[in-house]
Structure 1
Amino acid sequence: MQLCRRAVACLLKGILLLPATSHAGDIDGHALNAWWGVPFAGLLLSIAALPLLAPTFWHHHYGKVTAAWALAFLVPFAMIFGAGAATTGLVHAAVGEYIPFIILLAALFVIAGGIFVRGNLHGSPWLNVRILGIGAVLASVMGTTGASMLLIRPLIRANDNRRHVAHVVVFFIFIVSNAGGALTPLGDPPLFLGFLQGVDFFWTARHIFPETLFLVGALLAVFYAIDWYWYRREGVVQPDPTPDTPAFGFEGRANFLLLAGVVALVLLSGFLKAGVAFSVAGAQVSWAGLMRDLGLVALTVISLRITPDEVHAQNRFSWGPMAEVAKLFAGIFLTIIPVIAMLRAGVQGPFGPIVAAVTGPDGQPLPAMYFWASGALSSFLDNAPTYLVFFNTAGGDANVLMTSLATTLAAISAGSVFMGANTYIGNAPNLMVRAIAEDRGIRMPSFFGYMAWSGTVLIPLFIVITFIWFR
């Protein structure tokens, strides 16, 4: 323990003594070995397994587990390579990626949580399809988290007089919590990380719109057939248990203006070519990024101040989900540092076999392999760091990936976003939607029961996408 305390103290001191020219990208992946990826893999496996194997322990101690894995990387790295190298990686990951990422996610979470859809719709296959379709569009505008939190409650209320509802929530996760967010950096965390790496705001909308349209359209068609079957099989619809007195409308409507402000700030930060505002341990903060993040914080505070308490109460708004995401991603963004460095080392680096698996004999990337590799990891790990890993495996140069390697970047983007729907743990909104549904009395499929749904419905569609767009 004394050794760990000295190492942490050296890290804190290193932040003050670090030369301004240092940069996380200066870490030489060739100097590392694959064991440096153990904390990253261990953390992601903990996220996947502990909620299932030890749910009570995980619920009370997930922050400690995350901190333990982070220190399992940071302390040995500081002892071997020095406090300067460790603090450089730490500060660069925080300032360059983690803080902007969490600020955007928190803004969408809070502002969407300040909008309550009142009224009582009556669930039918056609109405449910319309809600899912609207959610798919909104997901790329206000994020999969924002769209999911906005629409899952009215969708559940609309179907509260039906016996078979679990499939409605499952397809909601497929479409709104995942596939619908594939068109903009606002839609899903992986794409926002790509935006921070230099990918143009509208690049994904231009390059994976056909794939997204096909996937969402096919899922809506399959859902309508299944929902129509159960709707007809239930026979006469019993009286709705919830009152019909409230007229359809929105409470907390001012938050829609704040959502428009979020979109405007992100767009503005992508188009402004402002200079560097300041540097922290070699991590540069641009004026555009600083303005965006401060603006998002201001919009978040405004939403909390102007949203009536009864709206938050009706939405059962709490900080629990956001706190969990913030803690987990803090560990992920830290432990992924050596993984990215080793992947950037290419075929000659410690992760050479992984790079070789997605690279053809001619040295060119294989889009189909990138699609399935990024998708497979996004199914069981978190899709945001998975995107970042394969983005860097493909070279990490946004300008090259958007042009000569456009199909590869499209495959990485589509795989990371689409296949986050394969399991409950593939994307943060999946678990949030499941928790809300179970809280409302819906008996959701188990972890493997949900995978039976995704394996039957999603995997065949992904195979079709591969043969049409990523061969």
Structure 2
Amino acid sequence: MLLARSKRRGISLHPRPSVTRCVGALITLGIALLPQHAWAATGLDGATMRWPYALPFGGLLLSIALGPLLFPKFWHHHYGKIAAAWSLLALGSLVWFVGGMVTLAAFLHAMLAEYLGFIVLLFSLYVVAGGILISGDIKGTPAANTGILALGTLMASVVGTTGAAMILIRPLIRANRARRYNAHIVVFFIILVANVGGALSPLGDPPLFVGFLHGVDFFWTTRTIWFQTAIVAGLLLAIFVVVDVWRFRREPLFAGVGPAEPLRIRGLINLPLIAAIVASLLASAMWKPGIAFDILGTKLELESLARNVLLLAIAALSVWLTPDEHRQANGFTWEPIREVAKLFAAIFVAIIPVLAMLDAGHHGAFAWLLSAVTAPDGAPREVAYFWFTGLMSAFLDNAPTYLLFFELAGGDPQVLMGELSGTLASISMGAVYMGALTYIGNAPNFMVSSIASESGIEMPSFFGYLLRAGAVLIPLFLLLTLLPVAPILRWH
């Protein structure tokens, strides 16, 4: 087997002082950012917990899945309250189980170690990329759509899946606004640009950045899984061409309309700002001053504080330096990032007991799941690592899922890049590729879906998207695991 070898509301931009106050508030929050640490530091013992503590997280996922489908108006106005209720239920169960101080320590760890760094990076990329306006009369033909998807897939490992998605999703939507059938275009965009394309560098997707912070070489994934990623991306683009041509032929009135306005890119000041975001991520991983602050077992490291303050400053510069009309022409609103911030804050809280139980390994309630990735002789099962990392990444956040299986495989980056390179490759591909299976597998998925819905595209429901993405992706993933070893497909 192959694996045996080797994630509309209007905007008011005119009053810059209000934006400055908003960014200032985020900077205040940003000083509490840090990289990931073990859950044990909080004193939360997952080995003594049982599966009912995962029910609030399951309820939250069901609410996200069914709310927009069953009661869309109520959900749109109250999704933040519903998500908060589930997270409070999760915290309440922890207070009853371990007491207030341990729960507070676990909550601070989730917010400071996991959520804030995650949302500040997304916020900065969303703001900066939203200032880049690609204008012109692009017609949503299969050739043009394929070109945009291919460009975004290539960009994703350089500017991140969020950056590439935010730069290209609005031009793609404008190009296909006149088409009757256009939801499938956004679905493939999420799969390719917001997920698969980010598999080749730590800048591409948060799980790989977590690996970089834990000692994996910056270009390791580029060297190791570039061919597998090229095969998966190439097959996905080929499938997209077939689907889009079929849909396009059913829209004869749209075909044959020529371009009227030349293509232009404005807001170019944001390109060096994106480069500055990339540089700040690299610098924070390489600069280790050895200064940290401890808050109830969670360490705040100076390099992380500096990185996130810098990210927020870059976002503020983008708002200040980009003409307001560029964002307005882009259809830029704060609602997508607001929705992501609220829902993922609840996810990061409700997932606390789930991650604690998983972190307990073979002593926890999910021992049956984790034991599946290890053979009786202790050797890792690479196929199992790929599928379990991937499927859990689709429903949990893919960054902590990557870290969980990274540690389960030993946590030594030199060993994982050497004799266990197939295991690390399986974890990396599973976390990145299968983040595309659901809207919550990777944060850009939800953001792109929200932008598309605000723009009038009828996006599929949570389960509708899952079925569509699964129908396309699962056969490709089975190909990676079941195809007999052949010269054109190998790990090394």
Normalised to the residue count of structure 2, the TM-score between the two structures is: 0.81
Query: Is 2:361 the partner of 1:361?
Result: no
Query: Is 2:94 the partner of 1:77?
Result: yes
Deviates more, 1:310-319 or 1:259-268: 310-319
Query: Is 2:397 the partner of 1:387?
Result: no
**Aligned pair partner of 2:266 in 251, 258, 274:** 251
**Is the Cα contact below 8 Å between 1:107 and 1:299 reproduced in 2?**
yes
2:118, 2:278 → 1: CA distance?
Answer: 14
Deviates more, 1:296-305 or 1:36-45: 36-45
SS of 2:105's equivalent in the other structure is helix
Cα distance per residue 1:126-150 (max 9 Å; x no partner)? 3322211110011122222221221
CA 1:99–1:456: 2 relative to 1, 3 Å: closer
**Is the Cα contact below 8 Å between 1:161 and 1:240 reproduced in 2?**
no
Deviates more, 1:76-85 or 1:295-304: 76-85
1:312, 1:303 → 2: CA distance?
Answer: 11
Partner amino acid, structure 1, of 2:46: G
CA 1:414–1:317: 2 relative to 1, 3 Å: same
Partner amino acid, structure 2, of 1:345: A
Q: CA deviation at 1:442?
A: 4.1
Q: CA deviation at 1:375?
A: 2.3
Query: Is 2:187 the partner of 1:170?
Result: yes
Partner amino acid, structure 2, of 1:457: V
Give the match for residue 392 of structure 2. 377
**Aligned pair partner of 1:341 in 352, 356, 373:** 356
Partner amino acid, structure 1, of 2:124: A
Q: CA deviation at 1:105?
A: 0.9
Q: CA deviation at 1:236?
A: 7.6
SS of 2:362's equivalent in the other structure is helix
Query: Is 2:123 the partner of 1:130?
Result: no
**Is the Cα contact below 8 Å between 2:438 and 2:466 reproduced in 1?**
yes
2:412, 2:76 → 1: CA distance?
Answer: 39
**Is the Cα contact below 8 Å between 2:156 and 2:198 reproduced in 1?**
yes
Query: Is 2:309 the partner of 1:294?
Result: yes
**Is the Cα contact below 8 Å between 1:201 and 1:267 reproduced in 2?**
no
SS of 1:182's equivalent in the other structure is helix
Q: CA deviation at 1:180?
A: 0.8
Partner amino acid, structure 1, of 2:169: I
**Is the Cα contact below 8 Å between 2:156 and 2:193 reproduced in 1?**
yes
SS of 2:333's equivalent in the other structure is coil
2:144, 2:175 → 1: CA distance?
Answer: 9
CA 1:202–1:38: 2 relative to 1, 3 Å: farther
**Is the Cα contact below 8 Å between 1:198 and 1:398 reproduced in 2?**
yes
Query: Is 2:275 the partner of 1:260?
Result: yes
CA 1:94–1:431: 2 relative to 1, 3 Å: closer
Partner amino acid, structure 2, of 1:227: D
1:119, 1:166 → 2: CA distance?
Answer: 22
2:250, 2:68 → 1: CA distance?
Answer: 35
CA 1:82–1:314: 2 relative to 1, 3 Å: same
**Aligned pair partner of 1:92 in 86, 109, 125:** 109
Q: CA deviation at 1:220?
A: 1.6
Deviates more, 1:390-399 or 1:117-126: 390-399
Give the match for residue 308 of structure 1. 323
- Measured on the aligned residues, the alpha-carbon RMSD in Å equals 2.9
**Is the Cα contact below 8 Å between 2:359 and 2:404 reproduced in 1?**
no
- Structure 2: gaps of 5 or more residues: 1-38
Q: How does 1:103-142 map to 2 (within 5 A)?
A: 103-142=120-159
Give the match for residue 408 of structure 1. 423
**Is the Cα contact below 8 Å between 1:114 and 1:311 reproduced in 2?**
yes
**Aligned pair partner of 1:157 in 152, 171, 174:** 174
Q: CA deviation at 1:249?
A: 1.9
**Is the Cα contact below 8 Å between 1:92 and 1:283 reproduced in 2?**
yes
Q: Which has the higher contact order (CA 8 A, sep 6+)?
A: 2
Give the match for residue 445 of structure 2. 430
Deviates more, 1:223-232 or 1:331-340: 223-232
Corresponding residue pairs, total? 447
**Is the Cα contact below 8 Å between 1:24 and 1:85 reproduced in 2?**
no
CA 1:62–1:448: 2 relative to 1, 3 Å: closer
Cα distance per residue 1:142-187 (max 9 Å; x no partner)? 2222212211222233345555444333322221122112223332
Partner amino acid, structure 1, of 2:305: L
Query: Is 2:58 the partner of 1:41?
Result: yes
Q: CA deviation at 1:361?
A: 1.8
- Structure 1: gaps of 5 or more residues: 1-21
